[in-house]
Amino acid sequence: MRAAAIQLNSGADVKANIAAADERVRAAATDGATLVVLPEKWTVMGGPEDLRAGAQTLDGSAIAWARQTAAELKLDLVAGSIAERVEGREKLGNASVHVGPDGEIKAVYRKLHMFDVEIDGKRYRESDTDEAGEEVVSSELADGAKLGMAICYDLRFPELFRVLALRGARVVSLPAAFTLPTTRDNWEPLVRARAIEDQVFMVAANQVGKHPGGHHSGGCSMIVDPWGTVLALANGETPGYIVAELDYVHQEEIRKRVPLLEHRRPKLYHRSSAQTHPTSSSSSSSSSSSSSLPGFGEGNTSTGGEG
């Protein structure tokens, strides 16, 4: 299968963002891609007011475009993530939508981990505008391969990717808006680590450049194979797209030679997860909730992205 990651410089103008996405998706399809992944908040990037003004429901123009385009081009389209307006709820969602070649919505994943951090002296509080999701989500591509879904800051939480791998994911989509500093220092090591440790293909589509609200994304979108080999890498300066072949036979060979998922010892891990984290007063509650799953990754409050 040929996959593409789309790199955009989204702003506050939703119509312009959709037009930019349309241009790049069509170019990737012409280049043979049958799986295309857009970046995080591709519909709107900016400050809190920009996000609220540009937020849409899943019935809005952005997902309507995604459904129409996927059906027209006969491809699996992961419509990055959108700022999702949910009726009756004050905060927005951060929702990644997988649309199949038939134009139907196959799965919706809402970002689990909120980007509430400090980077180079700047504080980000994604939880001020967005509400975290509560469900690990996988889907199925047109060729039958399982697709794991994650968004940006999720990348820093390896447990999530292990759950997706244990559920059979061969490919993981990662829409992102990593900040410039974290793209520079953390992006490639983390994407490659998730691919290696779970033996999955990572299709990681990042925002790039300056956005309204003071956010600056680092680009360098990448596609990585289960051995950690970077199959395609975008630059850190301009919008565009990258494509690469995903060789499932090669993936099976890696999994046979290094059967790490079979070598797991989950009984020991559950015993360890009951211990209190030495540096977090709230760790006992997070530990108990994460241990209810067989395992458990990045975003920005001022712009709805990460780093």
For the chain, list the domains and their CATH numbers: 2-264 (3.60.110.10)
The residue from 111, 220, 298, 306 that is catalytic is 111
Among candidate residues 258, 296, 268, 251, the one with its CA nearest the CA of residue 111: 296
What's the pLDDT at 239? 98
For residue 283, pLDDT over 50 is answered with no
Residue 3 contacts residue 251 (beta carbons within 8 Å): no
What's the pLDDT at 281? 42
pLDDT band at 270 (very low <50, low <70, confident <90, very high): confident
C-alpha distances out from residue 37 to 80, 132, 214, Å: 6, 21, 25
What's the pLDDT at 301? 37
What's the pLDDT at 286? 35
Arithmetic mean of pLDDT over the chain: 90
Give the pLDDT mean for 147-165. 97
Percent of the chain with pLDDT over 70: 88
Has 15 been annotated as catalytic?
Answer: no
What's the pLDDT at 305? 58
Is 222 in a helix, a strand, or coil? strand
Residues 146 and 263: their CA atoms lie apart, in Å, by: 22
What's the pLDDT at 274? 56
For residue 178, pLDDT over 50 is answered with yes
CA 95 to chain centre: 10
DSSP E strand boundaries for the chain: 2-7, 35-37, 76-78, 82-84, 93-99, 105-110, 116-119, 122-125, 138-140, 146-149, 169-176, 201-206, 208-210, 216-218, 222-224, 230-233, 240-245
Has 152 been annotated as catalytic?
Answer: yes
Write the DSSP string, 63-131: HHHHHHHHHHHT-EEE---EEE--TT-SSBEEEEEEE-TTS-EEEEEE--S--EEEETTEEEEGGGTB-
What's the pLDDT at 291? 36
Least confident of 17-21, 96-100, 216-220, 303-307: 303-307
Give the Cβ contact number of residue 103 at 10 Å.
16
- Read off the tokens for 198: 């779970």
For residue 143, pLDDT over 60 is answered with yes
What's the pLDDT at 75? 98
Give the pLDDT mean for 153-163. 97
What's the pLDDT at 82? 98
The residue from 84, 106, 126, 152 that is catalytic is 152
Helix or strand holding residue 164 (H, E): helix 158-166
The residue from 40, 84, 131, 298 that is catalytic is 40
For residue 276, pLDDT over 80 is answered with no
What's the pLDDT at 117? 86
Please give the residue that has the higher pLDDT: either 272 or 58: 58
What's the pLDDT at 278? 53
For residue 279, pLDDT over 80 is answered with no
Residues 72 and 103: their CA atoms lie apart, in Å, by: 8
Has 111 been annotated as catalytic?
Answer: yes
Say which amino acid occupies 31: D
Prediction pTM value:
0.89
